[in-house]
C-alpha cells in the first residue's frame, strides 16, 4: 500500500482532537466529583442548626444535598438546575 506523505499529519490531527476531547470530558468528571463533595459539605454545614433542633420535622435532617446529574459535555460536568 502506498503511503501518502500527509497521512501522518492527518492522523495526528484527528487523534489529537479526539485525545483532547477525551481529556476535557474526563476532567469534567473530576470537576463534577469535586463539586459533589464541596456541595455536600456546604449543605451539611448549613443544616447543622436545623438537624440539632429538637423538633420531629427537623431533627437529624438527612436530605441536605441533591447531587446534580453528571453531564460530561456541560462545562464543569453538570447543568445547574
Partner 1 sequence: MKKIFLSNQKAQAVLELATFGSLVLFCLALLIHFGLQMNYQQNLQMQAFRKALKMAYYKQGPDSQAGLAVIKDKPVVDPRDRWGFADRVSVGSGASVTWSNTLNGVYVNEISEDPDVKDMPRTYIEINKEAGGIGLADDEINDSIADRGVDPQAKQKGIFTTGYWKKIDVGSFPSLPYLGIYLEDSKHEHGTKDYFPLAVRPQDIKVFQDEQDPQQKSAVYQYAGLKRTLSSVVLIPNDAELEKFNQGKSRPVSIMAVKGTAGNDCLDNFCGTLKEILYLDSSAGQIDASYVEVKPWDKDKTLQDKQGILMDYEKKLDYGSGAEITVTETDKDISTITESSATQTITHKIRLNDKSIQEVPVTFYPNPIGAYEVTYENK
Per CB under 8 A, the list member of 14, 30, 46, 66 interacting with partner 1 is: 30
Per CB under 8 A, the list member of 13, 26, 66, 71 interacting with partner 1 is: 26
DSSP per position, 13-72: HHHHHHHHHHHHHHHHHHHHHHHHHHHHHHHHHHTHHHHTSSSTTTTT------PPPB-T
User: Is residue 40 within the footprint of partner 1 (CB under 8 A)?
Assistant: yes
Point out which residues bind partner 1 (CB under 8 A). Answer: 26, 29-30, 33, 36-37, 40-41, 44, 51-52, 54, 56, 59-62, 64
Amino acid at each position: 500500500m502506498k503511503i501518502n506523505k500527509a497521512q501522518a499529519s492527518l492522523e495526528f490531527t484527528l487523534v489529537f482532537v479526539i485525545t483532547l476531547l477525551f481529556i476535557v470530558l474526563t476532567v469534567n468528571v473530576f470537576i463534577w466529583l469535586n463539586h459533589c463533595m464541596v456541595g455536600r459539605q456546604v449543605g451539611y454545614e448549613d443544616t447543622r442548626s436545623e438537624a440539632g433542633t429538637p423538633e420531629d420535622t427537623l431533627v437529624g435532617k438527612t436530605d441536605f444535598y441533591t447531587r446534580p446529574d453528571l453531564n460530561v459535555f456541560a462545562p464543569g460536568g453538570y447543568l445547574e438546575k
